[in-house]
Structure 1
Amino acid sequence: MLFRMLTKHLQKHSNTLAHIIQSYAQCKQLSNGKLLHAQLITSAYPSSTYLTNHLLSMYARCGQLGYAYKLFDEMPQRNLVSWTAMISGFSQNSEFSESIATFCEMCASGESPNQFAFSSVIQACSSLKSVQVGKQIHCLALKVGFSYELFVGSNLADMYSKCGSIFEACMVFEEMPSKDEVSWNSMIHGYVKNGYNQEALVAFKKMLTEDITIDQHLLCSTLCACGPFKAYNLGKSLHSFIIKLGFEQHISVINALTDMYCKLGDMDSGSRFLKINPKGTNIISYTSLIDGYVESDQIEKAFSIFIELKRQRIEPNEFTFSSLIKACANHATLEQGAQLHALVIKHNLDQDPFVSSIIVDMYGKCGLLDHSLQAFERIFKPSEDFESS
């Protein structure tokens, strides 16, 4: 009844209807959006590309790509906004191949993409690690003059770094006429992920000379570079800076600080956050501590952290088990290793290739070659049950 009254009184107010549809999209109120859409159809409300585009965006944002595509397919006339809504919708809902295909279809139709279409399709390439397709889209962005646009440039740099093409990422980044905290973070994070920790720290220092807002994401990326590069003094300075900015209570920052100190070998500082507030940490912090103790050959402390993790009812992940099983392999402690293997199976992580390879190594170093072979074969035969002897 409400929607019938609403449609009746707003038949000449498409802007108001569009605003209502947009609010449903932002709040992901799919049922209300569908009701309004149905009422527009049954009341013979005049169809328009403008309103249909808003409905497309609503369905896509609510994860209803089937509805969105059906509406898109039936549109008598599409415009750039229509195409962009579908490209963005597919990308945001992890339908990356469809996003790329729709982008190509749009270009074939003669419609020239805007910065939003470029950004969405580049994100799809990044997620698929399709660097060759990404390069072609980069060339098109250069041709139509969007490659230096802030969001497009940031996504291009991010795409190249995620695909391991750090030189191309750096070239795109350096050519951008303006940069914000998102683009700087993408570049610094890209350096770290590709093992260029010194370059990440140089980029951070350069960023400090710019008028850039420093947020917790930038700080976390930089902290991740300090540990592997053994930049202890810079790491301590960043920690002081974090306290002054009031970011020390952010869980992502706590994780990054814990990991940095553990990689620097300062286990006292690394474990401080767990001692202060055990419930303010998560599996990432616990795993960093376990890995730090394993690397510093403090195996008993590593297992004590694992016990504390279980006491806090925090689920271990594949990295937690990998570090502990690695410790058992290095010290040939079969009993603990076998117990961990049983827990790995219980947590359905026995098919993880990284965990499985460490289990193979652990049994081999403990002299149980038949167990090692069984674990190795299970990697390639997931349907078979592991037979313990």
Structure 2
Amino acid sequence: MVLFSCCLFQSSPYPSSWNKAIKKQVLEENHERAILTFNHMQATGVSADSFTYPVLLKAIGALSLRDTGFALHGHIIKTGFSGDAFVQTALLGMYSSFRCIGHACKVFEQMTVKDVVAWNSMLSASVSHGEIDDAAILFDLMPSKDLLSYNVMISGYASIGSVTCARNVFDESPVRDVVSWNSMILACGNAGDIREARKLFEEMPERSVITWNTMLVAYLNNELPEDAVALFEKMKISNVKPDYLTLTHVVSACAHKWREMMNDAGIAKSAGCSVIEIQGRTCKFLAGDNSKMD
């Protein structure tokens, strides 16, 4: 049945059939296949339209194929679709994923219609590029904002440990989701304000595994391994299932705790050694031994 469906759209002279196949492949995160389908579409003489390019640009951005993205942008200009609002927004998203802030700015400036999706893409590009001040200017200029707009700015301020600015945006946000709260906890943790981070954690209406991991990292970064272990014990009796990152953080906390106990007790770790056979001889090398073998 699948083979029959593939044969049907591959013999179709209409781009809509191809677009459905490409979109389905991108939704399934089969980005390489989506690009191959587009190439086959071109080879059969079917022209792409304004619905083809946005999906294809998303696939290219997901794979970080910069050269392919630049080439497709040139192709879009030649085929006359560079002024299409949906294509422009997709181009902006692709360049944002590439962290090509200059190219993203050019596309943004050329856009005749800038909706909240376009503004958010530009905002995300600035934050991911570390241009938090530029992102703040864009944020203030936005004619309308949605939840993503606020979350991007909170995350941006969190990345540089600017708790006050992050808190201002957090308080201004008309609605909040788990991402908003997680970003604020991260901001407080990065700034060393562990008490405020835990306060936010306890105030959250719901917590995801990312929330617990963020709080664990906050404790570890502020050298509080015992609190991290205690938090993990609390997590075990909650309805949130730990992931591999959780276990990594807990192992790190336990190791840190054991190192502290050894130092307090004056216990020194014995030197490790490696046994290697060299030219028929068995040689032992101790850690920290700088002597050379004869």
Q: Give the shorter-chain TM-score range.
A: 0.7 to 0.9
Where structure 1 has 5 or more consecutive residues not aligned to the other structure, the ranges are 1-63, 336-364, 372-389
Counterpart for residue 28 of structure 2:
93
Paired letter, 2:157? C
Counterpart for residue 167 of structure 2:
236
Query: Kindly tell me: are residues 283 and 188 of structure 1, through their superposed partners in 2, closer, same or farther at Cα, counting changes over 3 Å?
Result: same
Of 89, 112, 116, the residue aligned with 1:177 is 112
SS at structure 2 position matched to 1:333: helix
Q: TM-score, normalised by structure 1?
A: 0.61
Counterpart for residue 219 of structure 1:
150
- Does the 8 Å CA contact 1:65/1:90 hold for their aligned counterparts? no
Counterpart for residue 218 of structure 2:
292
Report the more deviating stretch, 121-130 or 260-269.
260-269
Counterpart for residue 270 of structure 1:
197
- The Cα of 1:121 is off from its aligned counterpart by 0.7
Query: Kindly tell me: are residues 168 and 370 of structure 1, through their superposed partners in 2, closer, same or farther at Cα, counting changes over 3 Å?
Result: farther
Distance 1:367 1:166 in 2: 51
- The Cα of 1:224 is off from its aligned counterpart by 0.4
- Does the 8 Å CA contact 1:259/1:285 hold for their aligned counterparts? no
Paired letter, 2:171? S
Higher RCO structure (Cα 8 Å, ≥6 apart): 2
Distance 1:367 1:97 in 2: 51
SS at structure 1 position matched to 2:81: coil
- The Cα of 1:223 is off from its aligned counterpart by 0.6
Query: Kindly tell me: are residues 147 and 367 of structure 1, through their superposed partners in 2, closer, same or farther at Cα, counting changes over 3 Å?
Result: farther
SS at structure 1 position matched to 2:51: helix
Distance 2:224 2:91 in 1: 43
Distance 2:147 2:13 in 1: 41
Where structure 2 has 5 or more consecutive residues not aligned to the other structure, the ranges are 262-267, 275-294
Counterpart for residue 202 of structure 1:
137
Is 1:160 the counterpart of 2:86? The answer is no
After superposition, where does 1:36-75 map in structure 2 within 5 Å?
Answer: 66=3, 68-73=5-10, 75=11
- Does the 8 Å CA contact 1:198/1:229 hold for their aligned counterparts? no
Is 1:333 the counterpart of 2:270? The answer is no
- Residues 37-70 of structure 1: CA deviation (Å, up to 9, x unaligned): xxxxxxxxxxxxxxxxxxxxxxxxxxx9655313
Counterpart for residue 17 of structure 2:
82
- The Cα of 1:156 is off from its aligned counterpart by 1.6
- Residues 151-208 of structure 1: CA deviation (Å, up to 9, x unaligned): 222222222222333332233223222221212222222333343333333322232x
Query: Kindly tell me: are residues 320 and 187 of structure 1, through their superposed partners in 2, closer, same or farther at Cα, counting changes over 3 Å?
Result: farther
Counterpart for residue 317 of structure 1:
243
Query: Kindly tell me: are residues 320 and 106 of structure 1, through their superposed partners in 2, closer, same or farther at Cα, counting changes over 3 Å?
Result: same
Query: Kindly tell me: are residues 72 and 299 of structure 1, through their superposed partners in 2, closer, same or farther at Cα, counting changes over 3 Å?
Result: same
Query: Kindly tell me: are residues 241 and 80 of structure 1, through their superposed partners in 2, closer, same or farther at Cα, counting changes over 3 Å?
Result: same
Distance 2:160 2:243 in 1: 26
Q: CA RMSD in A?
A: 3.0
Query: Kindly tell me: are residues 94 and 236 of structure 1, through their superposed partners in 2, closer, same or farther at Cα, counting changes over 3 Å?
Result: closer
- Does the 8 Å CA contact 2:158/2:183 hold for their aligned counterparts? no
Aligned residue pairs: how many? 269
Distance 1:162 1:369 in 2: 45
Give the structure with the larger helix fraction.
Answer: 1
- Aligned-residue identity in percent: 23
- Does the 8 Å CA contact 1:153/1:172 hold for their aligned counterparts? yes
- Does the 8 Å CA contact 1:329/1:366 hold for their aligned counterparts? no
Distance 1:367 1:156 in 2: 58
Distance 1:116 1:368 in 2: 64
Query: Kindly tell me: are residues 323 and 190 of structure 1, through their superposed partners in 2, closer, same or farther at Cα, counting changes over 3 Å?
Result: farther
Query: Kindly tell me: are residues 179 and 217 of structure 1, through their superposed partners in 2, closer, same or farther at Cα, counting changes over 3 Å?
Result: same
Counterpart for residue 207 of structure 2:
281
Q: TM-score, normalised by structure 2?
A: 0.79
After superposition, where does 1:249-264 map in structure 2 within 5 Å?
Answer: 250-264=177-191
Of 18, 29, 45, the residue aligned with 1:110 is 45
Give the structure with the larger strand fraction.
Answer: 2
Counterpart for residue 305 of structure 1:
231
